[in-house]
Structure 1
Amino acid sequence: MPSDETYVSQILGVLSAEPERVVLSWRDRTLTAAELTALVRSAAQTLHRQVGGDGGDGAGAVVAVLTVTNTAPTLVLRYAANLVGATVVHLHTTNAVDPADPLAAGAKLKILRETGATHLAVDAENLATARELRERLGAPLVLVALGDLGPDVLDLTTGDPDALDPADIRIPPDRPAVVTYTSGTTGEPKGIAFDFRARNGFISAGLQMRWRSVYLAFLPLSHSSGATADDSLASGGSVVLLDGFDPGEALRAVARHRITRMLLSPPQLYLLMDHPELASTDLSSLQMVTYLGSPASPERLAEAVKVFGDVLLQVYATSEAGFVSMLSPAEHLDPRLRATVGRPMPDWVRIADPDDHRDLPPGETGEVCVRSPFTMSAYVAEPELTARTVRDGWVHTGDLGFVDGDGYLHLRGRIGEVVKTNGIKIHPVTVENALLAHPDVVQAAAFCVRDRDRIEYLHAAVVLREGGTAGPGELAEHVRAAVSPKHVPARISVRDALPLTGVGKPDKARLAAEADG
């Protein structure tokens, strides 16, 4: 494909081959390839009249999208805005796992101001909120929608889908295409901008696929699930949208729609494995079950291989670095490799000493640094933070890990999570994996708790399998035998569930606060 052709144009080119094929399903509604294309092109043409003019492009236009996340408008509005060179900002949620977790009004206002939004794209469910935001913003903001929502909202469906030729719009590859806000697990949510070069390059995988995926999307389209939807459409496949993750509903959707592809977090994978409907569900259509967001338990992955077969795909990615490494389905069959996050692409990863930033040899743990075509371009309105995070083209992830002699990457948690206790530095993931190796444990989190004298202690929280009887004493002895006496947490609590962050990881800050309280 021409290097100056956007990922949206490439998707629309694939859709044009079979216009009557159903490509998008949600809430008992469907769109064919022709209907999806017409919506995108009509909306793009209307936007272009607004922001581009004759022969221009969407330079300077920023379209904030405030829609029910896992519905067709979320995709259509992003495609339309990006097709004319405008930047898209997702405004509904910073949660990469739960699409039903909305941002507060104050956070929405901050994002609108910070990104310089010129347009606010809404649906009927969010219209009242959009009008309130426009009033409070104190700056010009054009409301737009896919339909007639009132005289103060521009109806994007009134455009002529045949009047716009995307080839006439020249979009610089370094222009921001999409801004996604992080969940703020390490501080206030931050906008992460990815340019058109990264977005256009990512779609190449879908264009080269030899199979048509039917993608079940229950993670929010505003985050990585949206890129997976793009990839699936580019493969000539289709997308089935659910409002959120419910293990029973997901299993039923797999059988009903003959799903071939899913994207989920490790805790969600465990919930599927433990669900009572699993044994009676036809999973034969599944060809790719991708999990990402947090390290997975090698022991639970061994169970997952037995349940799902040769279809598991682990992706290690971060909000800032994008895709980093992958563990293939075949590699999941090797017990040694299930403790890794796969092999990075050649020359994409270096392991640096967190203190002096020198490169570390294989086997030594340091900060994972990434340089690839898919890394972020900048934090929005945060030049100093951008400069600290991206140095000489390398994104410093804050993740700790090492590369072994065979080139596989092992993660050891976050730099700030290392606990200095019992005279040694303990990586929580080591203790978590030991706990997860106990037959009664299905989820585990190890974290640091500091007393009034700032002395650090390792604590852990676990969720037991149904019928599990292991108590703190038994689990402590298990860790002692599996790792060492010094790795035994000062306290182990058994909980009904672990609190999760917006990216599906155990919320260790909350666990530590509850333990401290």
Structure 2
Amino acid sequence: MSPTDNYVRRVLEALSADPERVALLREDERFTAGEFTRTVAAAAEFLRRQIVEDEIPVVAVLTVANTPATIILRYAANLIGATVVHLHSTNAVDPTDQLATRERYEILKRTGATFLAVDEENLGLARELCERLPEPPRLAALGSFGPDVLDLTTGDADAVDLKVMETDPERPAVVLFTSGTSGTPKGVTLPFRVRTLYLRAGLDAPGPITYLSTLPVSHSNGSGADLALASGGTVVLHNGFDASAVLGAVERHRVSALTLTPPQLYMLVDHPAIKDTDLSSIQIISYGGCPASPARLAEAVEVFGPVLLQFYGTTETSGISVLAPPDHFDPELRMTAGRLTAEVRVRDQDDDRDLPVGEIGEICVRSPFNMLGYWREPELTAESVRDGWVYTGDLGSLDERGYVRLHGRVGEVMKTNGIKVHPTAVENALLTHPDVAQAAVYGVADGDRVEHIHAAVVLRPGGAADFAALLGHVAGELSPQHVPAAITFHDDLPLTGAGKPDKQRLAAERTGA
């Protein structure tokens, strides 16, 4: 692929090899490769006719997240070089989670959207948003929804010549809004360059991929769908993660690839139906979003075999390291987040110097996959991107072989009992106990501002470990200085939009804040 090659063009060309194959499948809704290609081309041609010369349009997409419309609308906009903004949610894990109307309004204002592409379920909300905006975008949809809505299906698919569809690789392709610590969503702006680089793996696939998507395709998981379609394969869309439904879909559709968070991987391993499910079609299970437990990965390897691929990255940098399937059989490597795939420096937070192998500091990344910046927020961008390096806020260390270990976030390190305690170390210790399924460790300050280690755990079905048993276990695995001052037991851990345990919420519940 050339740098100016449009990734959507390459996907549509790949699908044309087998136009009768099902490309998208969701419940009773399905598109063959031929139908999908013509729908994208028609919508792209219609949008192109609406654009003023030299205008770079912004197409905001407000649809139910894991539906064919979400993918079709992104492809149609990106095919003509437009920038796509997803308005559904900042949640990269749960497609049912939704932004408040006020946040959607603010994002529309900030991005200056030219078009607002919607589905029938969100049409009323889209009209309400347009009425409130001083310069509203034009409404568009894949169908006839009224005189105020452009029907993108009426475009002329035959008028689109895929062979000439090229795009400036540095032009913004998509703006992914993520939940920020300030409460204001941050618009991570990814160029066409990143989409093109990602697609190469799908184009080189030895055969069609059947990809099960439970994470929102409106966020980073959309790249997984792109890879499957580029292989000439099929994307099976689920509206969220349900372990029973996932196992059923794997067997029914002969799923070869899926992407999960570590907690979701654990839920599959623990599910009683796993023993009776035909898993032979699975070629790769990618997982990431938060650090994984080495002990639980050992169990997952026993269940699934050599198909696990840990992916460590951020929305701002994409991939940073990968723990390949063979690495999962090495107990030492299971304690890492894999071998580096990007240029990384580990910096001292006090003097910004590069730290040697084995020392813990902030992970900084320089890579062709890095974002352009935060959408129209130069000051926020300057805080995170310095001299081409993205400062991730993740704490990590490197070993001599180029493998990275994660030690939590910059703001999560606790100083208690006279030592610095990294939450990830205590979480991993808890997860080696046979009764513990999930764990989150965080700091809570008392009235004298003394920080104490707190833990929240989910026990396995039938697990009987109590506070005293877990304290003794952590002391034996690490040291008495790492023992939590308090442990709470939960049926489920609250999660952030990135699928990580919501430690701020857990701490607030303990303090009453």
Is this a same-fold pair by TM over 0.5? yes
Match of 1:515 in 2: 510
Match of 1:283 in 2: 279
SS at match of 1:283: coil
Match of 2:144 in 1: 148
**Aligned counterpart in structure 1 of residue 87 of structure 2, from 87, 91, 95:** 91
Match of 2:22 in 1: 22
Match of 1:77 in 2: 73
**2:39 maps to 1:39:** yes
**2:237 maps to 1:241:** yes
Alignment of 1:94-113 (within 5 A): 94-113=90-109
Match of 1:203 in 2: 199
**Aligned counterpart in structure 2 of residue 292 of structure 1, from 288, 296, 302:** 288
Match of 1:480 in 2: 475
Match of 1:301 in 2: 297
**Aligned counterpart in structure 2 of residue 171 of structure 1, from 140, 158, 167:** 167
Alignment of 1:448-487 (within 5 A): 448-487=443-482
Alignment of 1:321-400 (within 5 A): 321-345=317-341, 348-400=343-395
* Pair 169,328 (structure 1): closer, same or farther in 2 beyond 3 Å: closer
SS at match of 2:47: helix
CA distance in 1 between counterparts of 2:275 and 2:17 reads 38
Q: Deviations over 1:436-486 (max 9, x none)?
A: 000100000000111233221111110101111111111011111110010
Shift of the alpha carbon at 1:187?
Answer: 3.9
Q: Deviations over 1:478-507 (max 9, x none)?
A: 111110010011111111111111111100
Note if contact 2:6-2:165 (Cα within 8 Å) is conserved in structure 1: no
Note if contact 1:24-1:31 (Cα within 8 Å) is conserved in structure 2: yes
Shift of the alpha carbon at 1:185?
Answer: 4.9
**Aligned counterpart in structure 2 of residue 229 of structure 1, from 209, 215, 225:** 225
Match of 1:497 in 2: 492
* Pair 257,271 (structure 1): closer, same or farther in 2 beyond 3 Å: same
**2:309 maps to 1:313:** yes
Note if contact 1:472-1:494 (Cα within 8 Å) is conserved in structure 2: no
Match of 2:189 in 1: 193
Shift of the alpha carbon at 1:338?
Answer: 0.5
CA distance in 2 between counterparts of 1:25 and 1:52 reads 35
Shift of the alpha carbon at 1:22?
Answer: 1.3
RMSD: 1.2
CA distance in 1 between counterparts of 2:207 and 2:300 reads 23
Note if contact 1:440-1:470 (Cα within 8 Å) is conserved in structure 2: yes
Shift of the alpha carbon at 1:169?
Answer: 5.3
Letter in 2 for 1:33: A
Shift of the alpha carbon at 1:212?
Answer: 2.0
What is the number of residues matched between the two proteins? Answer: 512
Shift of the alpha carbon at 1:319?
Answer: 1.4
Note if contact 1:369-1:395 (Cα within 8 Å) is conserved in structure 2: yes
Question: Could you tell me the TM-score, scaled by structure 2's length?
Answer: 0.98
- Unmatched tracts of structure 2, length 5 or more: none
Shift of the alpha carbon at 1:172?
Answer: 2.1
SS at match of 1:478: helix
Match of 1:429 in 2: 424
Letter in 1 for 2:364: C
CA distance in 1 between counterparts of 2:390 and 2:180 reads 18
Match of 2:250 in 1: 254
SS at match of 1:224: coil
Shift of the alpha carbon at 1:137?
Answer: 1.6
Shift of the alpha carbon at 1:186?
Answer: 6.0
* Percent of aligned pairs with the same amino acid: 59
Note if contact 1:350-1:359 (Cα within 8 Å) is conserved in structure 2: yes
Q: Deviations over 1:290-321 (max 9, x none)?
A: 11100110000000000111100100011111
Alignment of 1:264-275 (within 5 A): 264-275=260-271
Note if contact 1:185-1:501 (Cα within 8 Å) is conserved in structure 2: no
CA distance in 2 between counterparts of 1:152 and 1:509 reads 44
